[in-house]
Chains A and B, each alone.
Chain A
Amino acid sequence: MKLFPVPVNIVRSQAAPRPADVSVIVSLYNYGRYLTECLDSLAAQTQANLELIVVDDASADASLAVAEAWLDKHAEAFCGHKLISHLSNMGLSTVRNTAFAHASAPRVFVMDADNMLYPRAIARCGEAMSADAGSAGAYTQLEYFGDRTGLGNANFWNRELFKPRNYVDAMALVSKASWQQVGGYDQLVVDGCEDYDFWCKFVEHDLHCNFVPEVLCRYRVHSKSMLHTQTNPNMASLVLDLSVRHPWLDLTHFRNML
């Protein structure tokens, strides 16, 4: 967590008349063209008492205007909402932390603005958390769409499976208390892998999440961004940073890719 305050502007907000059961948080950065699809899929959730928090990270495109226009029409699909904008670009970890901080519900579903959900996604994750008294969160299998069709890497929660790579996407329901307990999302030495780091901290705090073996979340694959990842010039720094933070990881195989 930061010592300095993150300067934000609350663009609009409407408090929930009764406590929300789940806050869905959307991190938004230059994805105005995908935002409507994303928000439509959230409005179609079967989950009752859902609060919407959108945090724009000083997008250069029309993201903020798209969000405002959408809320003008559809805000009533949620029991409350907040549209927040960072005054300058702060990066994904900080966006998510801002959103978590503003979430009023005990459970938070983490979204990126280019992804989508099927209607039962949030409710089904909530059911999984309620079924297991010790649960810190829940995630479903992903459907890849966009530039590639397929399924994600989700599997049952297992420390061993985290060792070589991340297999649990950020798109998940987590308890706000767990987010607090692990100290939120960290900004790594460079951008990227914040979700991997986040789950590693869960493991280190003996927190576990539940896998929902249904395909309920949609992950948009951008061919450009995949290429970018493979040739990420920061990969070596990330591998080193993650290995220092979580010495139990075994990322040696990334060496071959560098």
Chain B
Amino acid sequence: MNWFQRSPAPKDAPDQRALRGDGDALASSAVNFLTKTGLFDREYYLAAYPDVAKSGMDPLHHFMRVGIQAGRSFTSVENIARLWRQVLTEAASEPVAKEPKDASGLHAVIYVMRGGNFFMREIAGILRAGFADAGVAASICHENGDPNPGATHHIVIAPQEFFLLGEGRRFGTDAFISRAVLISTEQIQTPWFARSLVFMLRARAVAEINGQNAEIFRRAGVRAVTVQPGYTARYPAFGPQQKVDEFSAFAGLGRHVRDFDVSSPKLADRPIDLLFLGTSTSRREKLLAGYAPKFAGLNSFIYCLKTNKPIEQGSNPMAAPEVTAALLQRSRILLNLHRDEYTFFEWWRVMQAFWQKTLVVSEPSFPHPVFRAGVHYLEEAPRHIPHLVEWLLRSPEGQAKAEEVRARAFQDFCSRATARMAALTLLEAGAAP
């Protein structure tokens, strides 16, 4: 999901008090968390920032007081790798969510920033549909809105943005946060993750989009679940997008792409051979530049956006779920490249492809309880990705493999990774203890 990762340049400066938490107790719980999980790397922090030693402060306290607001990194690649190694040894089990005994009195409010990344609002829309699939009333509330007075569950997407910027600050109270489930979308090695801790640690539960992160939270004694948006029939943006003439992203594509019959059953008939969507990092740029001689011969759609701003709907022709779906429905392969050396899987992007029956080709990634390399998607080392792509597109064996894998991915996505299940997991996590 890195495409939409971050909004690093908020118009409003974050409320410094909110960032530190309401009191010392809170700050110390964040300190405990970073210590207990082993996330904070003292040696790394000392070596990376010479002013820390000069200050005479304890490195972790220096980070909490100074580094966190300056957006400093606090852990090394090696440390993260070690941590994940430990977490990964535990076999991830497929989630099972309990049905509520009586859904009639329930109402879930999903909080998401209006001006934020369109990706966050996409997740909000899918979760609301998931609640509907589970027979539970749900509504979406923006930072300047009023939540439904009958709300029984409060779910906040990207809390570090919602509670820190603009009108959302009024929700950042202990009374509210202690009843809420917070959906974390940050990668744990980032300073934004550290910032989000002051909220996460006060919440009723944390819902992690990444299973490995949820496990790290649980190890520190935090109530945490894994929640990924999933299949629902109630999200029309991801339904068939046959008419695309009003999407300006399609203006330079030929009629054979725009008018392609998206109900066509054969993958090989799709007009775009290869699709890449993601924000630019130097790693991705180097890989894509290296692939250029091979991919220049394909019908590709490579959108590697250089931005440090949130991708808002209206400001970018690509920033709409309908456009993502329309592109996926016309593409044979979605290419997944990690943004950096951390092998976080961009699960939501990948599952969007499953949903649209597009074959996913990815670099090696962390395991997932449902989706497996070789079964639901294909994995290859970066240097051989062009060779795999060539085989999948051109050879009859490759085409047959592509058909098999994308069919299996679609089938299991629709049955085993539903938005309904995500909603049920959130209900259970948000129930009063």
Flag whether A61 is at the interface (Cβ < 8 A).
no
Q: Do residues B289 and A215 form an inter-chain contact, with CB atoms below 8 A?
A: yes
8 A Cβ contacts from A56-78 to B: none
Q: Do residues A120 and B297 form an inter-chain contact, with CB atoms below 8 A?
A: yes
Q: Do residues B286 and A149 form an inter-chain contact, with CB atoms below 8 A?
A: yes
Of A120, A121, A132, A153, the residue contacting B252 (CB under 8 A) is A132
Flag whether A114 is at the interface (Cβ < 8 A).
no
Please classify how large the interface on chain A is, using the bins under 10, 10 to 19, 20 to 34, 35 or more.
Answer: 20 to 34
Which candidate, B63-71, B224-232, B300-308, B378-386, is the interface stretch facing chain A? B300-308
Which candidate, A92-100, A139-147, A174-182, A228-236, is the interface stretch facing chain B? A139-147
Q: Do residues B248 and A213 form an inter-chain contact, with CB atoms below 8 A?
A: no
Proximity string of chain B (283-321) to chain A, C-beta cutoff 8 Å, 1 when within and 0 when not: 001101111110111011111111000000001111000
Flag whether B89 is at the interface (Cβ < 8 A).
no
Query: Which residues on A sit within 8 Å (CB–CB) of B318?
Result: 156
Query: Which residues on B sit within 8 Å (CB–CB) of A144?
Result: 289
Of B295, B299, B316, the residue contacting A156 (CB under 8 A) is B316
Query: Which residues on B sit within 8 Å (CB–CB) of A135?
Result: 251-252
Query: Which residues on B sit within 8 Å (CB–CB) of A213?
Result: 300-303
Q: Do residues A138 and B252 form an inter-chain contact, with CB atoms below 8 A?
A: yes
Q: A213-B303, A214-B302 are in contact. Are A131 and B293 (CB under 8 A)?
A: no
Number of A-B contacts (CB under 8 A): 80
8 A Cβ contacts from A116-130 to B: 118-121, 127-130
Query: Which residues on B sit within 8 Å (CB–CB) of A160?
Result: 315
Closest chain A CB from B100 CB (angstroms): 45
Q: Do residues A119 and B301 form an inter-chain contact, with CB atoms below 8 A?
A: no
Proximity string of chain A (152-188) to chain B, C-beta cutoff 8 Å, 1 when within and 0 when not: 0101101010000000000000000000000000000
Q: Do residues A150 and B252 form an inter-chain contact, with CB atoms below 8 A?
A: no
Of A127, A155, A215, the residue contacting B292 (CB under 8 A) is A215
CA distance A125 to B288 in the complex (A): 20
Q: Do residues A143 and B301 form an inter-chain contact, with CB atoms below 8 A?
A: no
CA distance A14 to B280 in the complex (A): 45
CA distance A141 to B318 in the complex (A): 15
Query: Which residues on A sit within 8 Å (CB–CB) of B55?
Result: none
Q: A128-B253, A145-B289 are in contact. Are A156 and B296 (CB under 8 A)?
A: no
CA distance A118 to B300 in the complex (A): 13
Of A120, A151, A210, the residue contacting B296 (CB under 8 A) is A120
Closest chain B CB from A33 CB (angstroms): 21
Closest chain A CB from B393 CB (angstroms): 15
Q: Do residues A131 and B290 form an inter-chain contact, with CB atoms below 8 A?
A: no
Q: A118-B296, A160-B315, A215-B296 are in contact. Are A143 and B252 (CB under 8 A)?
A: no
Binding site for B on A (CB under 8 A): 118-121, 127-132, 135, 138, 141, 143-145, 149-151, 153, 155-156, 158, 160, 210-216, 218
The 7 A-B pairs of least Cβ separation, nearest first, read A210-B252, A128-B252, A118-B296, A150-B285, A143-B292, A215-B292, A151-B285
14 contacts between A and B (CB under 8 A): A121-B296, A135-B251, A141-B304, A145-B289, A149-B290, A155-B306, A156-B249, A156-B318, A214-B299, A214-B302, A215-B288, A215-B296, A216-B296, A218-B292
Binding site for A on B (CB under 8 A): 248-249, 251-255, 258, 280, 282, 285-286, 288-293, 295-297, 299-306, 315-318
Given contacts A150-B289, A151-B304, A213-B300, could you give 6 more A-B pairs where the C-beta distance is less than 8 Å? A120-B296, A131-B255, A150-B286, A215-B288, A215-B289, A218-B292
